[in-house]
Amino acid sequence: MNGIEITNITKSFGDTLALNEISLKFEPDKIYGLLGRNGAGKSTLLNIITNRLFADSGDITIDGQTSVENDHAQNKIYLMSEKNLYPRSMNCKEAFNWSQSFYPNFDLDSALKLSRLFGLDLKKKIRALSTGYSSIFKIVIALSVNTPYVLFDEPVLGLDANHRELFYKLLIEKYSETPFTAIISTHLIEEISTLLESVIIIKNGKILINETCETLMHKGYSLAGTAKQVDDFIRDKEVIGIDTLGGLKTATIIGDLDKQHLPESLEIANLDLQKLFIKLTNEE
């Protein structure tokens, strides 16, 4: 009975069906990628899990208890979202203290250490933070809050490449020390793909994919070689992406690799999760 269990959740906004009979389970101590296009319903789902929105129908349980208006269940979850719920006139340090009063396991020492690593100015008011530092402020809380379930909605919005790399590293370190359930919704799919154990793709309010990352990565492969070699090999394959650089070509292909007929000169690499995502979620 452990984990977050979502059963037949439906939610509409006016005429728009945002979530259509979604059922899904998040198991304890795993890292999930919750992927989808803008407007697919990811944030709606995260907001329903955390009682910021209420479903039209369906049930959610957290470790076996209903999620709805249940403080005991909600105290096990932290949602880092684009919307900032902290009073905008507080500075970052005050906000950390405030977090402690809601989340008794909030680790202030960790928050101060992470702030140093990211270069977050603790005296800065929340309203004065740039897009990138607003994300960092929320990342610091999410990585210090010590709830068994942490939901990240677009955690790296506005972060530079160095800070994104630091976030991925700190998340993995934290998870290795004290495993927890991380549900990460992000548009930077390729960067995060090596962190994920399972991938859920939502499309138009429905679950399109719910598989381990390993299973998903075996749905196809990439290969590289001279343009002619690649063109010859892919003629009868389902190609979802082509990159060309000088005379070299890389193709991303869906399907099993036919090793018998593969010319030795072609190089094989893993499937690019972002390319697969684009292919699966593009509207025709």
Provide the binding-site residues for a second copy, judged by CB under 8 A: 36-39, 82, 119, 130-133, 154, 157-165, 187-189, 194, 243, 245, 267, 270, 274, 277-278, 281-283
Nearer to a second copy, 58 or 132 (CB): 132
Nearer to a second copy, 57 or 131 (CB): 131
How far is residue 41's CA from residue 201's CA, in Å, rounded to a whole number?
Answer: 10
Across 2-18, b (16+ Cβ under 10 Å) vs e yields ebbbbeebebeeeeebb
Query: Residue 77, Cβ neighbours under 10 Å: how many?
Result: 21
Q: How far is the CB of 275 from a second copy (least distance, A)?
A: 9
Nearer to a second copy, 118 or 149 (CB): 118
Nearer to a second copy, 4 or 253 (CB): 253
Q: How far is the CB of 195 from a second copy (least distance, A)?
A: 12
Nearest to 31 by CA among 195, 166, 201: 195
Q: How far is the CB of 161 from a second copy (least distance, A)?
A: 5
Q: How far is the CB of 269 from a second copy (least distance, A)?
A: 8
- The DSSP 8-state label assigned to residue 196 in this structure reads -
Nearest to 266 by CA among 254, 251, 282, 255: 251
How far is residue 279's CA from residue 284's CA, in Å, rounded to a whole number?
Answer: 10
How far is residue 179's CA from residue 174's CA, in Å, rounded to a whole number?
Answer: 7
Nearer to a second copy, 28 or 119 (CB): 119
Q: How far is the CB of 79 from a second copy (least distance, A)?
A: 17
Task: Say how far residue 190 (Cα) sits from the centre of its chain.
Answer: 11
